[in-house]
Each structure stands twice: as structure tokens, then as C-alpha cells.
């Protein structure tokens, strides 16, 4: 053996040793993860820093109505244990929470919390008893490809309160179903999942994720100025306002034309 050859084999042996060590460590790790007992309590998914920040946000903005341990305060706010991150996302991203005052219905307003604060708060509330989570997708990914079927489902499940084209409508004692203009896809999805305020809940087994996405596709096709070929929806109230405008404008035009026909040239 030459010296060069010997150093070559030495290097090879060292590499083999390292590989064996790595393999052994990996096996041990896999065995541990397979055999170690699963914790029975819900665990925080986020990192500890996010949880601390979420707790900070909670203590600053939510604690007075929802209590020190999320247990709720009578006549102020409900318990938040087990409501889940989807509910937190809907309430804070639409600006409904933190609420300004107690009233029949808490209305949408610009979000008070930053997106980072919302994420941290979602992780914090989720760590307290779990609950409904948001889907993996967000935004445009939640728009299904069959708005016609979405329309069928919307008319069956949603239109009784939110109107056929998402204009909203009245409920009992000052409450109302809001109109669906300017609501993001994720917010609509979260609202169906958790049923905020007086809205019923639509679980994924009642309306499958594909059905929810089709509903979102339909909502997006009739709100935000869409489905408006005439240029002005005049309230989107259907035949009343349209008939009134047609009568007034049409009558004025007919009177004008009649005067022109009768005038001497």
C-alpha cells in the first residue's frame, strides 16, 4: 500500500463511521417520536414567542370582556375557550373585535389589530382548548370553479338572511345579516365555519370545503360591483327601485318625445 492509498481508505472509513452514527441517531429519533406518549392536552402550535405576543395582545385588548382566563364575563363577553383560531380571525380581521360597545349587533369596521397581532392572538386562543381552525388555503385559492352550483347552495343556505345577491337583510330586535361587499374570501370561509353572532354554523361535513368554495365563487361573482351590467345596481333591491327608475326616466323620455313630435318645426 502506498501512503496515498492508506490516507484514502482512512478517509473512507471516517465517512462510513459518520454515516453509521447519523443513521443510528436518526433511528433513535424516529423510535422516540414513534414510541413517546402523545400529550393528552391541546398544545400550542405556534412558537413560544408568538404565544407570548398573543397573550400580550389578549391582555391589552380582550381581557376586560372575556376575562383573565378566557372564561368570559357575564353581560360583557362570552368564554373564548375552544372557540378556535377561525373565530378569532373572523372577529378581529373584520374589525368587529375589539368591540367599541355593547349593542344589538357588532358591526364591521377597519381592523384594530395588525395582521401580526391577529396571528399571535389566533395562536394564543387556539392553545386554550383548541377549536375550529382555518383552512390551509387563503384568498383566491378559496374561490371554487362552479359559481352556478355555489349559487344554488347560497340560495338554499344563505340567501334567506343575506339576500340573493348578498345585500344583507333585517333580523329580529335590531340585528341584521350584513351585506357581503368587501368581505375577503378567507373571512367568508371563516364565517361559514364558525357562525359568528347569530349566524348558524356550517361545518365541513354539512357543507364540504368544495361546496364552501363554490359558494365563495358565487358571492364574489355578485358582490363588489359585479353582476351589474346596467352600470348602476340602484340599491340591488330588485323590481321596486328598478321599476321606479324605469317609470320616472321612461315617462320623462316619452313626454319629451311626444312634445317633440307635436312641436312645429
Partner 1 sequence: MSSNTPQDLPSDEELAQMSRDDLVKLGAKLDGVELVEYPDPWPVKGTRAEKRAERAVALWFLIAALAGFAFIGVFLFWPHAYTAPNTDGYFAYSLFTPLLGATLGLSVLAVGIGALMYTKKFIPHEVAVQQRNDSGSSELDKATILAELADAGDRSTIARRSLIKRSAGLGAGAMGLGIGVFALGGLVRDPWAQTESKDSLWHTGWKHDKPGEKVFLRRATGHAHEVSLVRPEDLSAGAMETVFPFRESEREDEHALSKALKRSDNPVMLIRLRSEDGRKVVKHQGQEDFNYGDYYAYTKICSHLGCPTSLYEDATNRILCPCHQSQFDALAYAKPIFGPATRKLAQLPIAVDEETGYFIARSDFIEPVGPAFWERKS
Q: Which positions touch partner 1 (CB under 8 A)?
A: 143, 147, 149-150, 152-153, 156-157, 160-161, 169, 171-173, 175, 177, 195, 197-203, 205-206, 211, 214, 217, 220-221, 226-227, 229-231, 260-261, 264-265
Q: Find the radius of gyration of the CA atoms of the chain.
A: 29
Nearer to partner 1, 100 or 198 (CB): 198
Nearer to partner 1, 43 or 208 (CB): 208
The least CB distance from residue 215 to partner 1, in Å, is 9
Pair 117, 57: CB distance under 8 Å: yes
> Cell 358571492 appears where?
219
The least CB distance from residue 200 to partner 1, in Å, is 4
What backbone torsions phi and psi does residue 66 show, to the nearest 5 degrees? -105, 0
Neighbours of 33 (CB within 10 A): 8
The least CB distance from residue 260 to partner 1, in Å, is 8
Nearer to partner 1, 7 or 160 (CB): 160
Nearer to partner 1, 56 or 149 (CB): 149
Nearer to partner 1, 22 or 169 (CB): 169
Widest Cα–Cα separation across the chain: 124
Nearer to partner 1, 55 or 185 (CB): 185
The least CB distance from residue 100 to partner 1, in Å, is 19
Pair 166, 222: CB distance under 8 Å: yes
The least CB distance from residue 98 to partner 1, in Å, is 19
The least CB distance from residue 184 to partner 1, in Å, is 13
> Cell 373584520 appears where?
94
Nearer to partner 1, 43 or 203 (CB): 203
The least CB distance from residue 149 to partner 1, in Å, is 4
* Cβ neighbours of residue 157 closer than 8 Å, sequence gap 6 or more: 202, 207, 215
User: Cα 128 vs. chain centroid, distance in angstroms?
Assistant: 20
Q: Check residue 232 and give left, alpha or beta (phi > 0: left; psi -120 to 50: alpha).
A: beta
Nearer to partner 1, 51 or 81 (CB): 81
Closest C-alpha among 79, 73, 225, 216 to residue 140: 216
Q: Check residue 84 and give left, alpha or beta (phi > 0: left; psi -120 to 50: alpha).
A: left
Pair 115, 184: CB distance under 8 Å: no
Sign of CA dihedral 25, 29, 32, 35: negative
The least CB distance from residue 66 to partner 1, in Å, is 16
Amino acid at each position: 500500500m502506498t501512503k496515498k492509498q492508506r490516507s484514502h481508505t482512512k478517509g473512507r472509513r471516517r465517512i462510513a463511521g459518520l454515516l453509521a452514527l447519523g443513521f443510528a441517531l436518526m433511528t433513535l429519533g424516529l423510535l422516540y417520536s414513534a414510541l413517546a406518549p402523545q400529550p393528552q392536552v391541546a398544545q400550542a402550535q405556534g412558537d413560544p414567542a408568538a404565544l407570548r405576543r398573543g397573550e400580550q395582545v389578549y391582555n391589552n385588548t380582550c381581557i376586560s370582556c372575556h376575562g383573565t382566563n378566557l372564561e368570559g364575563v357575564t353581560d360583557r363577553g362570552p368564554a373564548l375557550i375552544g372557540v378556535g383560531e377561525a373565530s378569532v380571525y373572523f372577529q378581529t380581521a373584520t374589525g368587529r373585535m375589539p368591540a367599541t360597545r355593547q349593542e344589538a349587533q357588532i358591526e364591521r369596521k377597519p381592523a384594530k389589530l395588525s395582521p401580526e397581532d391577529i396571528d399571535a392572538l389566533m395562536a394564543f386562543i387556539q392553545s386554550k382548548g383548541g377549536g375550529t381552525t382555518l383552512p390551509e388555503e387563503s384568498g383566491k385559492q378559496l374561490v371554487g370553479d362552479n359559481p352556478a352550483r355555489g349559487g344554488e347552495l347560497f340560495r338554499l343556505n344563505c340567501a334567506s338572511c343575506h339576500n340573493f345577491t348578498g345585500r344583507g337583510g333585517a333580523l329580529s330586535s335590531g340585528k341584521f345579516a350584513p351585506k357581503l361587499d368587501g368581505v375577503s374570501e378567507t373571512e367568508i370561509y371563516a364565517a361559514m365555519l364558525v357562525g359568528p353572532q347569530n349566524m348558524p354554523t356550517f361545518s365541513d361535513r354539512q357543507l364540504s370545503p368544495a361546496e364552501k368554495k363554490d359558494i365563495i365563487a358565487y358571492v364574489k361573482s355578485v358582490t363588489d360591483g359585479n353582476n351589474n351590467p346596467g352600470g348602476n345596481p340602484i340599491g340591488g333591491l330588485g323590481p321596486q327601485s328598478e321599476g321606479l327608475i324605469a317609470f320616472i326616466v321612461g315617462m320623462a323620455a316619452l313626454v319629451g318625445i311626444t312634445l317633440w313630435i307635436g312641436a312645429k318645426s
